[in-house]
Amino acid sequence: MRLLKLLAVAAIPAFIVPGKPDVSLVSSRTIDSLGACQGASFMDGKVYLYGDREVGMIREYHPEADSLHYTGKEVKLTVAGKDVINHPTGIARHGKLPVFVGNSIRLNTEGTLWKAEIYEVDWKGMLKAGNLDGHLIRTIEDDACIQGTRPEYVEYNGKWYVATADYGDKRNEVRLYDPAVLQKVDKTSAPGVLVKKFSCGPWVQNLHWVPEKGILVLIQNQIEGRRWRFTFVDLKKSLEKGEQVVLSSVDIDKADELEGFTFTGSASKGIAVTSSRKSNVHQVHVSW
């Protein structure tokens, strides 16, 4: 089991809105064997980092103070050795609800054509097996999306939904899908899947739900593929208005591609990840 040391760095100033959420960078570390890291999730006391190495994969870490211990557990997102979820873009898991993993597939070298898919998986089974063999339940084309998919469970009016968002600079949306319907269809355009939606800003790489505050964090780039932005939106007000209701937008002066973010047991301490090969995992502090 390997201890990954933090590299201390000076906090980088961010745009601060008085009385609103603010994000500051505390420290940075390099974690290898992820390929280009695409996101982070905190579940059952563990941090799961996922990326697109030679195949799509997920690795499990145990957080301790200012370090992460690799537990030795890795899942290759393959079936019979074939790369299936090659570019994982989100993990939606909550309680006993179905577990979904997103995938954005590049269809041309220019990056102008994409296909988005959402996979229902047996989470416990794939963690134990280390792959998707026998644990890939359903493949759903997210054809209701505009560009890409990044599933995350959110709560709205007392019910849990799978939220997802687009990456691009035109007609971006956050959409809510009904998980009970989603797990029975082959396309998100099927009747009853889409429940609510609202328009949002460009370049959303991932989503993170803060249930105790009713806030959805849009993990974004300031420009295509570069620079960090955290946008905190009031989910309920945004869905009722049909467009994002922003509580705070925080830009951090880092030039690489912010890909994901998760809190790690509290609403003040979190981890942000980028697709860089070095200094790709960052401890951040959020003040409210």
- CA-to-CA distance for 21 and 232, rounded, in angstroms? 7
Share of the chain above pLDDT 90, in %: 83
Domain count, the chain: 1
Per residue in 211-229, pLDDT tens?
A: 999 999 999 999 999 999 9
Kindly tell me the sign of the dihedral angle through the C-alpha atoms of 203, 217, 261, 271: positive
Q: Give the pLDDT score at 13.
A: 33
pLDDT at 1 over 60: no
In terms of residue numbers, what domain contains 249?
A: 3-287
Query: pLDDT (tens digit, 9 = 90+) per residue, 78-97?
Result: 999 999 999 999 999 999 99
Q: Percentage of residues in the chain with pLDDT exceeding 70?
A: 92
The CATH number linked to 127 is 2.120.10
Whole-number Å distance between alpha carbons of 174 and 201:
10
Query: Which phi and psi (to 5°) does residue 34 adopt?
Result: -105, -10
pTM: 0.91
Summarize pLDDT for 8-62 with one digit per residue, the tens: 333 333 333 445 899 999 999 999 999 999 999 999 999 999 999 999 999 999 9
Q: CA angle, corner 176, sides to 172 and 180, nearest 5? A: 150
pLDDT tens, position by position, 173-204: 999 999 999 999 999 999 999 999 999 999 99
Q: pLDDT (tens digit, 9 = 90+) per residue, 248-269?
A: 999 999 999 999 999 998 889 9
